[in-house]
């Protein structure tokens, strides 16, 4: 009889052979696969159904040309993607990322993670992701609009409120969702919940903007509670200064912690008085400024340029990596541990390297993996879909209350799965298993598709 380990290893060998050049995708797959070995020992029928090899192959990948004209009249070309990874438990759901680093490996890793994350939310949403290597930095609003319209011209052929519902991610916020939505509506003559993260006057949900950051803090609150701790007086580091970081900082302050640092790709700021969230919002959401401007505006804040130091060198109790993948490595994890960090909650997708995760787990740090800790954003996206379908809208308190309950539920289910499969306290294993089981049951019931 094939053991769980033999099966998982053999599928991983095939995945490596076929996707050897996709480093980020392989990293995400390796972490999940390692967790699932005991699941296949317990449910050998999933081996017979070759469920893992089916799950790790995207149902569909669309890659397309995005031509657009810049303000100088020059023709530009970017590459667009949509990876429709798994529709086992609902329509494909996941964000769009606009960043020069975007390639098929990045979108596949994000889409793969999204399957398990979306399952963990308890909402009926499958996994997908998309984006482009377009760089929004320094572009005018008109250039952004023309790019979004060209991108949607092709994307519109593949999405739909019951098929695939994109949202934002790095480089895609309210402005971009607006341009994308307007163009979808024009092309289709349909007013439908085809995107989430919409504005409040045209079908958006209250608390969606805040959801990912707030959710990562609600998740951390559960981890702290399990150790008999709370946020009072705790010092936190939050990397990034975009959508996720800003609202993580806001909620940390509301719950009694003090976030003293944040960053962007140019460097980080340290503000011993606590990050001024209103100033940060004005600089990042309104002025689209660089983070050095924060330090220029605050008497005690300092700026350190990227490459001249790391945000993770600052002494703190809590760390919230909220910028991008692989932004926290083994050495930095060791520094955080040496400086007394007790909990890490991943607001970004795959921000910690596999080696960094091992450092945290071995040191007894409470570690909230991305697919659990940052699931609040997509969870509220699913609530936005529900409101759109019901042609209704809920209050901020109602949505925030549901978000809180969902994050608490994800923590509890992940902790319970870890315990059941012999890895108590390991939320990486717990989240992977809990997310997988629901998808596996659905796939098994639906036959070989």
Q: Which of these ranges, 26-34, 375-383, 399-407, 411-419, lies near ligand 2IT under the rule CB under 6 A?
A: 375-383
E-state strands within 230-352:
235-238, 258-264, 267-270, 302-305, 318-320, 343-345
Provide the Cα torsion 438, 326, 132, 84; round to 10°: -10
How wide is the angle at C-alpha 238 spanned by C-alphas 237 and 239, nearest 5°? 120
Q: For the chain, first and last CA: distance in Å?
A: 25
Q: Where in 380-399 is the site for ligand 2IT (CB under 6 A)?
A: 381
80 binds, among ligand 2IT, ligand NDP, none (CB under 5 to 8 A by kind): none
Q: Which of these ranges, 60-68, 79-87, 89-97, 278-286, lies near ligand 2IT under the rule CB under 6 A?
A: 89-97
**Which of residues 86 and 196 has its CB atom nearest to ligand 2IT in the complex?**
196
Q: Where in 110-169 is the site for ligand NDP (CB under 6 A)?
A: 168-169
Q: Which of these ranges, 47-55, 70-78, 223-231, 374-382, lies near ligand 2IT under the rule CB under 6 A?
A: 374-382
| SS3 call for 165 | strand
DSSP assigned state of 56: T
How wide is the angle at C-alpha 370 spanned by C-alphas 83 and 430, nearest 5°? 105
Q: Which residue has the tokens 């994307």?
A: 155
CB 120 to ligand NDP: min, Å: 12
125 Cβ neighbours under 8 A, 6+ residues apart: 89, 90, 91, 93, 118, 165, 378, 381, 382, 385
**Which of residues 46 and 374 has its CB atom nearest to ligand NDP in the complex?**
374
CB 425 to ligand 2IT: min, Å: 25
322 binds, among ligand NDP, ligand 2IT, none (CB under 5 to 8 A by kind): ligand NDP
Q: Does 323 bind ligand NDP (CB under 6 A)?
A: yes
- Provide the pairing of β-strand 343-345 with 318-320: parallel
Residues 321, 348: contact at Cβ < 8 Å?
yes
Other CB atoms within 10 Å distance of the CB of residue 155: 27
Q: Where in 91-130 is the site for ligand 2IT (CB under 6 A)?
A: 93-95, 117
Burial environment of residue 74 by CB neighbours within 10 A (0 to 12, 13 to 18, 19 or more): exposed
Q: What are phi and psi of 171, to 5 degrees?
A: 80, 0
Q: Where in 160-179 is the site for ligand NDP (CB under 6 A)?
A: 168-171, 173
Binding pattern for the stretch 344-373 against ligand NDP, x by CB under 6 A and - elsewhere: ---xxx------------------------
196 binds, among ligand NDP, ligand 2IT, none (CB under 5 to 8 A by kind): ligand 2IT
The CA distance from 360 to 341, in Å, is 9
CB 81 to ligand NDP: min, Å: 14
Q: Where in 312-371 is the site for ligand 2IT (CB under 6 A)?
A: 349
Instruction: Give me 430's structure tokens.
Output: 């717990």
Q: Which of 171, 377, 430, 435 binds ligand 2IT (CB under 6 A)?
A: 377
CB 378 to ligand 2IT: min, Å: 4
94 binds, among ligand NDP, ligand 2IT, none (CB under 5 to 8 A by kind): ligand 2IT
Number of residues that bind ligand NDP (CB under 6 A): 23
243 binds, among ligand NDP, ligand 2IT, none (CB under 5 to 8 A by kind): ligand NDP
210 binds, among ligand NDP, ligand 2IT, none (CB under 5 to 8 A by kind): none
316 Cβ neighbours under 8 A, 6+ residues apart: 235, 236, 237, 260, 261, 336, 339, 340, 341
Q: Does 209 bind ligand NDP (CB under 6 A)?
A: no
Instruction: Give me 84's structure tokens.
Output: 């429709």
Active site residues: 129
265 binds, among ligand NDP, ligand 2IT, none (CB under 5 to 8 A by kind): ligand NDP
How wide is the angle at C-alpha 9 spanned by C-alphas 6 and 12, nearest 5°? 150
The CA distance from 19 to 15, in Å, is 6
324 binds, among ligand NDP, ligand 2IT, none (CB under 5 to 8 A by kind): ligand NDP
Q: Does 204 bind ligand NDP (CB under 6 A)?
A: no
Residues that bind ligand 2IT (CB under 6 A): 93-95, 117, 167, 169, 196, 349, 377-378, 381
């Amino acid at each position: 009889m094939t053991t769980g380990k033999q099966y998982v290893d053999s599928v991983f060998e095939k995945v490596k052979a076929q996707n050897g050049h996709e480093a980020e995708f392989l990293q995400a797959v390796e972490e999940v696969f390692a967790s699932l070995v005991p699941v296949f020992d317990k449910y050998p029928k999933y081996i017979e159904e070759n469920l893992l090899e089916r799950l790790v192959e995207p149902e569909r990948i669309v890659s397309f040309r995005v031509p657009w004209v810049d303000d100088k009249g020059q023709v530009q070309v970017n590459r667009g993607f949509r990876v429709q990874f798994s529709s086992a438990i609902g329509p494909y759901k996941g964000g769009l990322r606009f960043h020069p680093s975007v390639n098929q490996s990045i979108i596949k890793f994000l889409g793969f993670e999204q399957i398990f994350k979306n399952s963990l939310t308890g909402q009926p949403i499958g996994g997908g992701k998309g984006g482009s290597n377009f760089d929004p930095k320094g572009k005018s609003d008109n250039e952004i609009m023309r790019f979004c319209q060209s991108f949607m011209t092709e994307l519109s052929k593949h999405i739909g409120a019951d098929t695939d519902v994109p949202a934002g991610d790095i480089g895609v916020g309210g402005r971009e969702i607006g341009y994308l939505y307007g163009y979808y509506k024009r092309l289709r003559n349909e007013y439908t919940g085809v995107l989430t993260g919409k504005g409040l006057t045209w079908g958006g949900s209250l608390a969606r903007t805040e959801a990912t950051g707030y959710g990562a803090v609600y998740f951390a609150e559960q981890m702290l509670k399990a150790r008999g701790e709370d946020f009072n007086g705790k010092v936190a580091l939050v990397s990034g200064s975009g959508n996720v970081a800003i609202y993580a900082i806001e909620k940390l302050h509301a719950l009694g912690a003090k976030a003293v640092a944040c960053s962007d790709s140019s460097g980080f700021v340290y503000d011993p008085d606590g990050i001024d969230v209103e100033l940060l919002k004005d600089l990042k959401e309104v002025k689209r400024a660089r983070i050095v401007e924060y330090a220029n505006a605050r008497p005690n804040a300092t700026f350190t340029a990227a490459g001249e130091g790391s945000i993770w060198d600052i002494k703190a109790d809590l760390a919230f990596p909220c910028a991008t993948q692989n932004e926290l490595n083994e050495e930095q994890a060791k520094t955080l541990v040496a400086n007394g960090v007790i909990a890490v909650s991943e607001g970004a997708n795959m921000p910690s390297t596999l080696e960094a995760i091992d450092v945290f787990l071995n040191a007894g740090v409470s570690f909230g993996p991305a697919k659990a800790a940052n699931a609040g954003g997509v969870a509220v996206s699913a609530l936005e879909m529900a409101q759109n379908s019901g042609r209704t809208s809920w209050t901020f308190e109602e949505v925030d209350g549901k978000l809180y309950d969902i994050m608490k539920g994800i923590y509890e289910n992940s902790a319970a799965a870890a315990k059941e499969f012999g890895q108590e306290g390991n939320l990486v294993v717990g989240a992977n298993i809990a997310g997988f089981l629901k998808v596996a049951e659905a796939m098994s019931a639906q036959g070989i598709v």
